[in-house]
Amino acid sequence: MGRAGSAVEVPGGRDTVLPGYESLAENIPVLHAPRLEAKAREIGGYLGEGYTALSGMLSVGPPKIAALLVADEDWREAPRDNARPYPPGLPYFTRSAEPPVLVLPENLAPVFGPRTQATLPLTVWHELAHAFLLSREVVRTPAWLGEFVPQAASAAVARRVGLSLDAHLSQIEGEPGFTVRSFRAPAGPEDQMSFQNLLLLLGIGALERFGEGFLPRIFDALWEEDEIVDGARAETLLAGALGPDGREWLASRREF
Ligand SMILES: [Zn+2]
């Protein structure tokens, strides 16, 4: 649906994309460099699964967004919130374009790990969960809660679509020397990844203990907050969303 010499049109959108990029028509259009069609189809499949699962799980309609699969050589041109390009290979969600766009690199940065069949789908579902959350205004929260929600949501999608995470989880090192609450930015990429993997373990533990029902509750709780959420408030919100013994369960988890 591109016009010669101009950006591809996303239905209802403008200026989202890079010149010459093509679109796969899906619930979430995947725009991609012409040579990345096969990868775009793979990602489109994960987005479709995530879109269906998260729409079913949460009490909201899916956000109107597009995905942009960016070739390595075009990374500096991708839409983003800041003037300076982001480090290559790190996916992100940005509302700097219309519709907002989930930006995915051709190749994930080497730090992404463990590398298993689950790495890419979990990464796509994580970013998609950010997009669902940001379909409404969200106040600032501690990083651990802001990243716990998409990590738990991505694990919940995996459960719904029957993607086993056993091989993936068995390769996560469980003792990075910090917990999700003691982790402090700025941190190096390896520590950032360890932080995300701790949150994934905590999310999976929460799903096993409480089921996926805590996810719509924590999304709703975050949307209802109108003041910045501090650490104590974040714990209260998550414990409340988990259920009656949520606080005790959190306290019992070594990731926490
Ligand atoms: Zn994130």
- Measured between alpha carbons, how far apart are the two ends of the chain, in Å? 48
pLDDT of 89 over the 70 cut: yes
CA 182 → CA 6, 177, 198, 231, distances in Å? 47, 9, 12, 11
Give the residue ranges of DSSP H helices in 87-230. Answer: 119-133, 143-161, 166-169, 189-210, 214-224
CA of 147 to the centre of ligand 1 (A): 5
Cβ atoms of 8 and 17 within 8 Å: the answer is yes
CA of 150 to the centre of ligand 1 (A): 6
CA of 5 to the centre of ligand 1 (A): 34
CA of 2 to the centre of ligand 1 (A): 31
CA of 89 to the centre of ligand 1 (A): 14
Give tens-digit pLDDT for 16-45: 567 777 776 668 999 999 999 999 999 999
Averaged pLDDT, 33-62: 93
CA of 138 to the centre of ligand 1 (A): 14
Give tens-digit pLDDT for 149-191: 999 999 999 999 999 999 999 999 878 999 999 999 888 999 9
CA of 35 to the centre of ligand 1 (A): 27
pLDDT of 201 over the 70 cut: yes
Distance CA 87, CA 6 (A): 26
Tell me, what's the pLDDT at 5? 37
CA of 19 to the centre of ligand 1 (A): 27
Q: For the chain, what percent of residues have pLDDT higher than 70? A: 92
Averaged pLDDT, 111-117: 96
Averaged pLDDT, 134-146: 95
* pTM listed for this prediction: 0.91
The single residue listed with the structure tokens 């040579």 is 35
CA of 3 to the centre of ligand 1 (A): 34
Give tens-digit pLDDT for 213-226: 999 999 999 999 99
Give the residue ranges of DSSP H helices in 58-142. Answer: 119-133
CA of 182 to the centre of ligand 1 (A): 18
CA of 69 to the centre of ligand 1 (A): 17
* Region of residue 73 (phi > 0: left; psi between -120 and 50: alpha; otherwise: beta): alpha
Tell me, what's the pLDDT at 20? 78
| DSSP conformation letters of 103-122 | EEESS--TT--S-STTHHHH
CA of 123 to the centre of ligand 1 (A): 9
